[in-house]
Structures are given as structure tokens and as C-alpha cells.
Structure 1
Amino acid sequence: MVFKRLLGSIGVGAPTVDTVLEGGAVQPGGPLRGQVQLQGGQADFTIQRITLELVARIGAPGAPGAAGDGKNLTVFDRGVVAENFTLPQGALNSVPFELTLPWQTPITQLYGQPLGVELGVRTELAIAAARDQGDLDMFAVEPLPAQEAVLEALGQEGFGFAAAALVPEALPGTGQQMPFYQEFDLVPPERFTHRVAELEMTFLPNPQGVEVVLEADKRAGTLPPGHPAGMLREVLPHDPAGRDWNAEVIGWIERLLEGREAAVAQFAGGMHPGMQPGMHPGMQPGMQPGMMPGAHPGMGQPGMHPGMHPGMGQPQRRGPGVGTAVAAGAAGLAAGVVGGMMVNQMMDGFSGDEEEAADEGFDDGGDDGGE
């Protein structure tokens, strides 16, 4: 996508700007290349600097507590690509650039399938006392080899993709370097559903390797916030060759669940704050005694079963892609990505929600924070 706009805050006859990115996906820690193309205005202009900002959209537009500038946009890196030069009247000038992405740049696609995470480049041109920002130009980020190996192993073991969200918080005890972290929410296969309803995973790469953070049902309140048994950390090399990743990821999950279950059992009678008599480890606070572990709090309505979410109000309907959203299978987690999106679309239709997306993509036709 190419944006083109008149620098309105500078006035009529000002230069125009096109920012063009090279095609194809990039990787965390890798180069993002392109050109800033300037068209001179009706007079000579002294360009003080051209700045590129890397921007992420955090959460849904208008979501409570979302970080950013009013449109849920957060700048996570920036760089000056040119400064202090004259753009003659009517002249064409192209400024090539190469930005190195931060190692913890979020992943936006897996095997070519979008994950619903939006990243973009925003160009700022400073002329004299005026400054103007362009629209956002989206770019795609694919996983590093170690990240892809872990995700593929999870898919082969039957974990399905539920969501990939950017969380504007700190992840305690980790090597997080960004103002947010990317969380992958995964649906477990049947052999784990009696122990966990959702697995949360975060990658925190750095130049030496990739830190993997695993959490289980962290929003369910099974353990107090920050309890060490609620999190498992592993550090991987960048080269994934020569390792049995399926066995490794299952080993991580087993250790995480065993540690969590042991911590829960330490509470009197196997109970913990938020649980009620008749409940047992593996159940979530808010569930009713007698419900199956792996069910969601607020279930209990007629026709609901484990794997359904509160508020759905009717049994999950089967159809193309639904099964792969629950268990991605040997086709890999990419099948879960596609299936999960199909499920979300189907459920929107079942609930009668006819609302259109309020803000798709980055090109909103307005000024994203320009002065």
C-alpha cells in the first residue's frame, strides 16, 4: 500500500510524500526496506528531517485501556532516514531507507495466513516550524525459525489457534523490551481439556535466542496473579535444527500443568480463593460444582459443553473449518489459524451481530496525530 497526501499543516503548494515498502514479509530483527519519494512543491523547501515510526495497533479500536494515540496506535520504534537538505521546486527526490526491526516485533502472519495483528510505518516530514505525519503503510512479519518450529509442533500435537493479541502490559520476570507483548491463545486437544481450557504463549526473541513464556488459564484466576507456578519460561537457540520439537513442547506443557496443579493443591483442601465447595483443581473460579474441568465459567446453560464460551447460548455448530479450529492436527497450526477465523465469522452470524467493523486496516482517511 502506498500513501500519498498533501502536507496540510505546511500549506498549499507544499511537497507531497509517497512511502513505498519492499514487498514480502520480514522477520523480527531483520531489515525493513523501502523508499520515501518526495515531489517538490511550488517553491524550494528545506527538509529538516524525515522520520519513520513503527506503529502497532493495540486491541480493537476504542477498547478500554488500549494504549496509543486515541486510535489504539502505539509507536514501538523510530528512526531518522534523512535530514537537512533542500527539495527544489517541483523536483523529484527518492530517499532509500533500511530500518532494523526490534527483535520482539510481533508476528502478523503464519504460513501466509494473517493473525489479525496490524503493524505499519508512519512517515513524518519536518519542514521549518511545521511537521506533518502521513497515513500508515502496513507491513507483514513472519516468525523466526525457532518460533515457527514451536508453532508447528503445537499444531501437529492438536492445539488450535484462538487469537494473537498485543497486550499493553509488562510480563514480570521476563526479558520483555517492548511496551507490549504478543500473546498467542491456543485451544488444547482433547487429551488436555480436563486440565486446561486455554494455553497462553509469548515469544520474546533477542540476539542470542528466543525466550518462550507459557501460561495456562491465566485469566481464570486459578492461581493468584504473579504466582510463579502459573508461568513456565524456556530459552531456545535461533537454530531449530536437530531437536524433537513435538516432544519438547509437550514436556513444557506437562511441567507447567503439573506445577500449577501442585500449587493449587497446597491451598487448604485443594481449594484456593475464588473456588467453591465441590470444586477441585483444574476447575476455574466461577464454575459450578459438578461442571467438567475445561469448561468456561458462566456455562451451565442448557446445551452448553466444554469448549464453548459463555454467552454463546447454544451448542457449537459444526461445519467446514470448525474441527480444525479446535484441533489443528498434523496440517500444522496454520490450519487452526484459518479454522479459528472461520469459527469467529460463523459465531458472529449465529449471535445475530450485524455490526460492521468500525475501523479496518490503517488507512482511516484522517490524520493519525499530525499537528
Structure 2
Amino acid sequence: MVFKRLRQALGVGGPSVETVLANPECRPGDHLEGHVQMVGGDHPVELTSVALGLVTRVAVESGDSAYGTMQEFGRRQVTDAFRLDPGQRYDVPFRFEVPWETPLTDLFGQRLSGMTVELRTELEVTRAVDQGDLAPVAVHPLPVQERLLEALLRLGFRLAGADVERGHLYGVHQTLPFYQEIEFFPASRYAGTINQLAVIFMTDPQQTRVLLELDKRTPGRFTGGDGFGRFTVDHATATHTDWPAQLDTWLRHQAG
């Protein structure tokens, strides 16, 4: 699949820019490959650089209020300075690494409600920056993430949506300034004790740290009625675990 966007950059008469993705589908840790194709406009332009970066919408809490903002991550410069003359064609191939902690946007053939990840092309000239177009990217789960989420669905949980929150999780190695929460409505067997379940993945090339947070209907052994759990799964051994049984045991223990 090829994704194309054509626009006029850097003002009237400036160069046109076409960003072509060979495939907008990826997983955390993958690469996006494509080309940034530019054609000079009516006048020569001295470009300082062309850079790519992924962006996602992040929820930010400020006092008693919250708002959403677009957050760039994984930024990478793909050219040095060059001159683009009128009508000149300039083609920049790229292979962009998708960070391991990139939020997921798609699960089991459907878009996660509230989620977006896009690839932004940025052109920079002296004293001016054009942030270019946003090319949508579909980020699918890694096998270990898919197995854990599928296990929750098999237990009867229903996907509620997801969001990305700015901040760092205590006691967890984290490379991006935000994290994703994937939220589920409880299965009927837990509905009397659980309001909602949130799942957080913190992934690197070897393993995935899984954080589970329960919003409990009545306070139990955890202050405020919340239950927390965390464990680490090696990518190589994730398929050897009976995840529905393991998660059911943990949930019953925490909800009791």
C-alpha cells in the first residue's frame, strides 16, 4: 500500500512536497520506509534540513483541568543542508525506526478509539520551519501484546478505548515522555468488584513490562480502591504461557 500527500510548502511559490510510505502498517520496533519527494517552486530555497518525526495526541493534566496536545517523538533528520532550485526534483529515501514504546492504534482489525499516530515531514529553512503534512500510521501490537490483550477478551473483557498520558511511571524504565493506557470494561464474572481495567505496555527489544491497574468498586487491600500489578514477559517465551488462566488468577486475587 502506498500513502501519498501533496502540498505546497513554505508559502506561495515554494517547493511542493510528496511523502510516500511504502507501507503505513507497522509494529513497535519496526521501520517505516519511503521517500520524501520535493520539487522546487518559483524561487530557489536554501533548505537547512528535512526531518521526520512521529506525533500522537497526549493528555496533559494541569491543576484541576486536562487538555490534549500533539507530542512529537522519535524525531530523525534525513538530510543535511541543500539548495532546491526552481523546478528541481529532489528525492530523499528514508528508513525511519519506530520506537519500541510507540502507542498502539489498531487492535484485531479495528482502530482503537481515541488513538492516532502520524508521521510528520518537516522542512526547515533559515528562520522558518514548515511542519509539513501528517501521514497516518497504523501501529499494530507485537505478538506478546496481542496475546495478552486477546486473553482479556477471551475472559470476557470489552475494549473501552485508549489514551496517551504525559508523564513517567514510577519504577519503570521509560524512554518516551508519555505512556499509553488501553482500557477495558469488566467481564461479567468480575463486574461486581471491578469498574475498569487499564493495561500499560513498556516494551524494549527483549521484553515487555506489563502494568495492570484495576479501578475497584469497593476499597479492598489497596488504598482508594485501586489494584496494581506488574510483571515482565520475554518476547521469546510469551507463547509458552496460558495467559487467560494466569490473568484470571491475578484478577480474582486482586478483586477479592
How far 1:224 moved relative to its partner?
4.1
1:320-370, Cα deviation, whole Å (9 max, x unpaired): xxxxxxxxxxxxxxxxxxxxxxxxxxxxxxxxxxxxxxxxxxxxxxxxxxx
2:40 maps to a residue whose letter is: G
1:297 corresponds in structure 2 to none
- Within the alignment, does 1:236 sit opposite 2:201 as a pair? no
The structure number with the bigger radius of gyration is 1
2:23 maps to a residue whose letter is: G
2:154 corresponds in structure 1 to 156
**Aligned partners of 2:23 and 2:32 also within 8 Å:** no
Q: 1:155 to 1:161 in 2, by over 3 A?
A: same
Superposed, which structure 2 residues align to 1:248-287 within 5 Å?
248-258=246-256
1:349 corresponds in structure 2 to none
Give the secondary structure class of the aligned counterpart of 1:104: coil
Give the secondary structure class of the aligned counterpart of 1:105: coil
Superposed, which structure 2 residues align to 1:82-161 within 5 Å?
82-116=79-113, 117-161=115-159
TM-score (norm 1): 0.61
Give the secondary structure class of the aligned counterpart of 1:2: strand
How far 1:121 moved relative to its partner?
1.3
Q: 1:218 to 1:141 in 2, by over 3 A?
A: farther
Determine the C-alpha separation between the residues in 1 that align with 2:94 and 2:126: 22
How far 1:220 moved relative to its partner?
8.2
**Aligned partners of 2:36 and 2:91 also within 8 Å:** yes
2:66 corresponds in structure 1 to 65
Q: Any unmatched runs of 5+ in structure 2?
A: none
1:2 corresponds in structure 2 to 4
2:49 corresponds in structure 1 to 49
Give the secondary structure class of the aligned counterpart of 2:235: coil
**Aligned partners of 2:194 and 2:217 also within 8 Å:** no
1:86-131, Cα deviation, whole Å (9 max, x unpaired): 3232022211111111111011001221002101111111123322
1:74 corresponds in structure 2 to 71
- Within the alignment, does 1:29 sit opposite 2:26 as a pair? no
**Aligned partners of 2:24 and 2:32 also within 8 Å:** no
Determine the C-alpha separation between the residues in 2 that align with 1:190 and 1:112: 24
Determine the C-alpha separation between the residues in 2 that align with 1:208 and 1:234: 14
Q: 1:220 to 1:92 in 2, by over 3 A?
A: farther
Give the secondary structure class of the aligned counterpart of 2:66: coil
Determine the C-alpha separation between the residues in 1 that align with 2:94 and 2:158: 38
Q: 1:22 to 1:66 in 2, by over 3 A?
A: farther
Q: 1:137 to 1:24 in 2, by over 3 A?
A: closer
Give the secondary structure class of the aligned counterpart of 1:82: coil
How far 1:177 moved relative to its partner?
2.7
Determine the C-alpha separation between the residues in 2 that align with 1:130 and 1:219: 53
Give the secondary structure class of the aligned counterpart of 2:194: coil
1:191 corresponds in structure 2 to 189
Determine the C-alpha separation between the residues in 1 that align with 2:233 and 2:135: 32
Q: How many residues align?
A: 247
1:323 corresponds in structure 2 to none
Determine the C-alpha separation between the residues in 1 that align with 2:251 and 2:78: 44
Q: What's the % identity of the aligned pairs?
A: 37
1:57 maps to a residue whose letter is: R
1:26-76, Cα deviation, whole Å (9 max, x unpaired): 01111111211101122333322101121001259xxx4235xxxx21112
Superposed, which structure 2 residues align to 1:198-217 within 5 Å?
198-217=196-215
Judging by fraction of residues, say which structure has more helix: 1
Judging by fraction of residues, say which structure has more strand: 2
1:188-218, Cα deviation, whole Å (9 max, x unpaired): 2221112212111111111220000011107
Determine the C-alpha separation between the residues in 2 that align with 1:14 and 1:128: 14
**Aligned partners of 1:7 and 1:132 also within 8 Å:** yes
1:38 corresponds in structure 2 to 38
Give the secondary structure class of the aligned counterpart of 1:151: helix
Give the secondary structure class of the aligned counterpart of 1:252: helix
1:66 maps to a residue whose letter is: Y
**Aligned partners of 1:47 and 1:127 also within 8 Å:** yes
Q: Any unmatched runs of 5+ in structure 1?
A: 259-371
1:237 maps to a residue whose letter is: D
